[in-house]
Amino acid sequence: MSAKFALIAAAALALIAAPAAARPGSEHDPIVIHMKRGTDTITLTGELRQNVDCCTYLLKARAGQTLQYTVTGAAVRATMTYPDGHGDGPFAGTIPLPADGTYLFSISPDTMADGAFGHFKLTLTIPPLPPKAPAD
């Protein structure tokens, strides 16, 4: 085997073995959600397509808060990964947030429904916790 062939073969193997770059919005590269100071709601838009890993959002919350969401457009399936790493779903509408920390909220096409692919508008709301009552 020539040195030139060996070099080309090694380069090809390196390309095959190299991990693919994570697509923004994928589980490995979630879209970080920052709500403007003084607000508790954000509206996001996107598109769900076949064979495309989208859309995972990273958000921080406190124990006792809830995530409320609405989606218009594409039919979606919503899931959540909690700060302790366990996942749950699908969900509809309101999700209790049991711990302080970072959550991954994901939507994917609901392939059991008509209109699973296409544009969507997602509104997320995390109302603030009520103030604590003063101690007696």
pLDDT tens column, 58-88: 999 999 999 999 999 999 999 999 999 999 9
Whether residue 132 lies inside any domain: the answer is no
The number of CA neighbours under 13 Å toward the Cβ of 4 is 0
- CATH number for the domain spanning 79: value is 2.60.120.380
Q: Concatenated DSSP letters for 87-122?
A: EEEEE-SEEE--SSEEEEEEEEE-TTSTT-SEEEEE
pLDDT of residue 15: 46
The DSSP letter of residue 64 is T
pLDDT for 36-58, tens place per residue? Answer: 776 799 999 999 998 887 899 99
- Which domain range does residue 41 map to? 22-125
Whether residue 5 lies inside any domain: the answer is no
pLDDT of residue 23: 65
Whether residue 2 lies inside any domain: the answer is no
Average pLDDT over residues 106-111: 92
Q: Between vectors from CA 127 to CA 125 and to CA 132, what angle results, nearest 5°?
A: 170
pTM: 0.76
Whether residue 130 lies inside any domain: the answer is no
Domain count of the chain? Answer: 1
Whether residue 11 lies inside any domain: the answer is no
